[in-house]
Structure 1
Amino acid sequence: MQTVYQTTINKIGSSVSDFLGEKMFILFGDNAPAELADYCLLINVKEIDGEIGQGDVLVFNNKEYKITAVGDAVKKNLGSLGHITLNFNGFDTPELPGTLYLEDTDIQVPEVGSQIQILKK
């Protein structure tokens, strides 16, 4: 598997767990606006090396999740701002341009220092 993207979670906003019921996390680079930072997993902004596609794998919180759909703006936003939404609802058609859709599963808040990777299958 080829690593397309890799970053580290530097800080976890105080309200991140509010989205567990919605099965989603918001990623944002360390430059997140103050009014949003409490709701985000703050990450290092890194470039993306390749395309992100349906069937690829997100490694998050030491588990692998199949990517089921990719919004049109995911690559641009993740590579430039570190800002996308991870939605673990299993949708196979993207509803929002800045959202990466993943297999339907329950999720837990990761720890600071956790790695996030996107792997090409």
Structure 2
Amino acid sequence: MNTVYETKVNKVGPSVADFLGEKMIILFGENAPAELAEYCLLINVKDVVEDIVPGNVLKLGEKEYKVTAVGDAVRKNLSSLGHITLKFDGSVTPELPGTLYLEDADIAEVQAGDTIQILS
């Protein structure tokens, strides 16, 4: 598999779990505004090397999730700010431009030091 994107979780905001019930995880680079950072996984901002498309695999720590839909702004936002929303609801139509939609699955606990990869 090719690596489309890879980064590391530097910090898990204390309120990340608040969104797990909504099947969401928010990613943001280290420059996240303080009022948002507590709800985010803070990551290193890295370039996305090719388009992210449905059928790719997002690997969060050791768990893999199939990409089901990709918002129009995902690649740009991830490369420039490290900021997208991961939504684990199996949607096949991207409703929000900055959201990466993934299969409806239980979300594994994420810890600082974990790797996030998107594989094609």
TM-score, structure 2 normalization: 0.98
**How much has 1:106 moved relative to structure 2?**
1.5
Q: 2: CA distance between counterparts of 1:18 and 1:2?
A: 33
> Unaligned regions of 5+ residues in structure 1, if any?
none
**Residue 20 (str. 1) matches residue 20 (str. 2):** yes
Between the aligned partners of 1:108 and 1:19, the Cα distance in structure 2 is 13
8 A contact 1:16–1:109 mirrored in 2: no
Which residue in the other structure is 2:46 paired with?
46
- Counterpart Cα distance in 1 of 2:7 and 2:88: 19
SS in 2 for 1:78: helix
Distance 2:4 2:46 in 1: 10
Is the CA contact (8 Å cut-off) linking 2:8 and 2:43 kept in structure 1? yes
Moved over 6 A (4+): none
Q: Distance in 1 between matches of 2:80 and 2:109?
A: 24
Indicate how the Cα distance of structure 1 residues 96 and 69 shifts in structure 2: closer, same or farther if over 3 A, else same. same
Out of 107-116 and 83-92, give the one that drifted further.
107-116
Residue number in structure 2 paired with 1:105? 105
The Cα shift of 1:108 comes to: 3.2
Question: Percent of pairs identical after alignment?
Answer: 68
Answer whether contact 2:63 2:108 (CA < 8 A) is retained: no
How far 1:107 sits from its partner (Å)?
Answer: 1.0
Two-structure CA RMSD over aligned residues (Å): 0.6
- How many residues align structurally? 120
The within-5 A match list for 1:1-121 is 1-120=1-120
